[in-house]
Amino acid sequence: MDLEDDTTVLTTLKSFNSFISRTDPPQRLSEHSAGPANLHNQYKRSMELLGAAEQVKSKNRYLQLDQEKKQMELSHKRARYELERTASDSARDLEHEVDRNQDLLGRIKKLEERETEAAKNLSEQLTVNRSLRKNLDGLNRKLEERDTRLNTSNQTISSLKDEIRELKQKIQNQDSAVSSQTLENQELQEQLDLQRRKHQEVSQLCQSLQAAQTSCSEHIIKIKELERRLALQEQDFAIVKNVKSEVAKVPDLEKDVKRLREENAFLRESRENCSLLKEEVEGLRRKLERTEKAKEELVNMELEKERLAEKLRAWENIGQSTGLNIRKPEDLSREVIQIQQIEISLKEQNYTLNSRVRSVERSQAELRAELSQQRSKALDEQKKREAHDALVRRLQKRVLLLTKERDGMRAILESYDSALAPTEYSPQLSKRLKEAEEVLQRTQNHNAEMEAQLTKAQEETGTLKLQLQTVELELESLKKQQASAADSSSSGTKEEVSILRQKIEDLEAERQRLEQQNNILEMRLERHNLQGDYDPVKTRVLHFKMNPTTAAKQERQQDVEALREEVTRLGKLVRSLQDGGAAVHLQDDSGVHAASLSLPPSKEVLDLRKQMESSELRNQRLKEVFQRKIQEFRTVCYVLTGYQMDITTENQYRLTSVYAEHMDDSLLFKKGSNGSMQLMETEFSKTLGEMVALHLHHQKSIPAFLSAVTLDLFSRQTTV
């Protein structure tokens, strides 16, 4: 690019120079062609001029060349300058490029750094991702655990339900057992009762047996006695012989005995009689008491009776005072009922009468209206009559006038007749007379007519008056009827009225009932309407196909299906996990929770637990053994050395001798840091100053000191 530019510059410069060089000669030519004066001179001059010209020319040429050279130099300089400039420019460009290059390198470095950072980030992200995946896996594991727990709980629930069912069955069984046992119990009780009865019988028998035995022993005793007696009798036999003599006296004695026996019997009878009498007396006393009670009751009854009689009398008095046939309360109630019935009937009568009164009033009102009408009619008629009278009077007046006129006319005519000759005017006059008479006739006719009319009107008024009177009469009669109706009404109309009334009431009741029904039905209709019921004949219910409810339902359905699928999937997973070893393959197949699920099998846990328990047990046993051994060792030490050793505190040992005089007599040794033992001062050690000095300070032997102490104490004990 630059090079090309340079060339163009150069070419233009060259052309410019050439142009300048070209333009110069013509100018000079024009100068030289100016003056041709004298030829010689001219020639000389011309020669001179030519020489000069040539000189000039050469000078010029030189100048030109010089100029050219200068120009060339200038152009060269310029060119060089240009080149330098371009070089500097290019150098600057190069620098620029280098700078840019560095920049770019820097950028590349930055980008590399960024890349490394991004890689780091990526790795971090990957680690985070991994951790998140782990978390996810952990969560999944938890979920599964929960599922398993849920399943176990469900199982436990089902098992518990089974248990409950079993328990219920057991309860039922036990109930039945209890009932059977109660039955058995009853049977046993019955048996027990039987046994008791038997036992009683047996005991009775035993008693009887004992009684028999006692009687038997008595009998034996008696027999013995009898034997003794027999011996006595044999002894007595001799005496009897002696007595026989006295036997003669026996009959007498027997008689006496008989008598006495009789007496005895009699006395016994009398005693029995006496007891009978006593019983009788007792009975009689009781009777007496009863009778006394009865008497009291009788008195009470009498009092009551009197009261009742008074009441009865009051009732009777009421009956007498009221004049009714009241003897009993029933009568009264009957009477009351009758009275009520009468009241009811009277009320009914009253109602009927009221209705009648109302109807009569209504009719009265009607009649009144009629009466007023009739009166107005009568007034009209009177007015008419008056008008007619007026007319009649007017007509009479006119008649009078006409008659006067006629008289006047006649007088005039007569005067004419008298004054004029009858022949001249007679036809004219007669004609006029006739006319006048005709007029008269007509007026008279008219009058008669009017009179006839008048009479007619009068007759009419009379008839109207008659009508009025009749109407008034009727009214009066109606009034009377009304009055009478109030007092008494005919039974027929009464019955009819009551029937009609009944009907009306019935109809009214039915109407009310129907109205109520109507109201109820309307309310029901309203309610149905409120609930949204409609008449399918007239109405149809429409809704938008894609309404929110169906949309929501579909969504729900989909959700449920998705959840169900998930549940089945998870269930499968859980089952596979429960199967244990097979789980790994399944997990690999599913590829969802790979390698993260490694639940320790329960067997191992159980084993470990067992191991732990066994080790604990061993520990326990070892402890026991050690304790026993230590105890044994201690006792052996005590027996063999004669010292009981106790560790009071850390590194301090107390020794108590077997032969110690007091319980508190003991020696305290302290173990030093280098393992040597030192005797501590106690109350007892203070008394052993010599031995301490000899064995410990001098001989430096603790066993010797201890033996010396033992021997000392032993000798002290034995000497004592």
Partner 1 sequence: MTSTLKGITLKGSAELVAEFFSFGINSILYQRGIYPPETFTRVTHYDMTLQLTTDPKLKNYLTNVVSQLKEWLFECTVQKFVLVITCLETNEVLERWQFDIECDKSAKEISAPREKSIKTIQDEIRSVIRQVTATVTFLPLLETPCAFDLLVYTDKDLMVPDKWEESGPQIIDQSEEVRLRSFTTSIHKVNSMVAYKRTDSA
The residues binding partner 1 (CB under 8 A) are: 527, 529-534, 537-553, 556
**Cβ at position 535, least distance to partner 1 in Å:** 9
Between 329 and 536, CB nearer to partner 1: 536
Give the closest residue to 137 by CA, choosing from 570, 569, 597.
597
**Cβ at position 536, least distance to partner 1 in Å:** 8
Place of tokens 């009277």: 346
Chain-centre distance for alpha carbon 631: 73
**Cβ at position 531, least distance to partner 1 in Å:** 5
**Cβ at position 539, least distance to partner 1 in Å:** 5
**Cβ at position 471, least distance to partner 1 in Å:** 56
- Round to whole Å and give the CA distance between 670 and 648: 10
**Cα 149-152-153 angle, rounded to 5 deg:** 85
Helix orientation angle between 491-531 and 329-419, rounded to the nearest 10 degrees: 100
Give phi and psi for 537, each to the nearest 5: -75, -40
- The answer to whether 654 and 667 have CB atoms below 8 angstroms apart is yes
Between 7 and 547, CB nearer to partner 1: 547
**Cβ at position 543, least distance to partner 1 in Å:** 4
Give phi and psi for 643, each to the nearest 5: -125, 140
Between 3 and 546, CB nearer to partner 1: 546
**Cβ at position 560, least distance to partner 1 in Å:** 11
- The answer to whether 385 and 461 have CB atoms below 8 angstroms apart is yes
Q: SS3 for 687? A: coil
- The answer to whether 12 and 33 have CB atoms below 8 angstroms apart is no
What residue type is assigned to position 520 of the chain?
Answer: I
- 655, β-bridge pairs: 645, 667
Within 420-488, residue ranges assigned H as helices are 422-487
Between 548 and 689, CB nearer to partner 1: 548
Q: Which residues of 112-145 are buried (b: 16+ CB within 10 A; e: fewer)?
A: eeeeeeeeeeeeeeeeeeeeeeeeebeebbeebe
Give phi and psi for 663, each to the nearest 5: -65, -30
Between 526 and 613, CB nearer to partner 1: 526
Between 543 and 662, CB nearer to partner 1: 543
Between 245 and 531, CB nearer to partner 1: 531
**Cβ at position 383, least distance to partner 1 in Å:** 55
Between 325 and 531, CB nearer to partner 1: 531
- The answer to whether 471 and 377 have CB atoms below 8 angstroms apart is no
Between 323 and 548, CB nearer to partner 1: 548
**Cβ at position 144, least distance to partner 1 in Å:** 28
- The answer to whether 559 and 566 have CB atoms below 8 angstroms apart is no
What is the residue-wise DSSP string for 67-84? HHHHHHHHHHHHHHHHHH
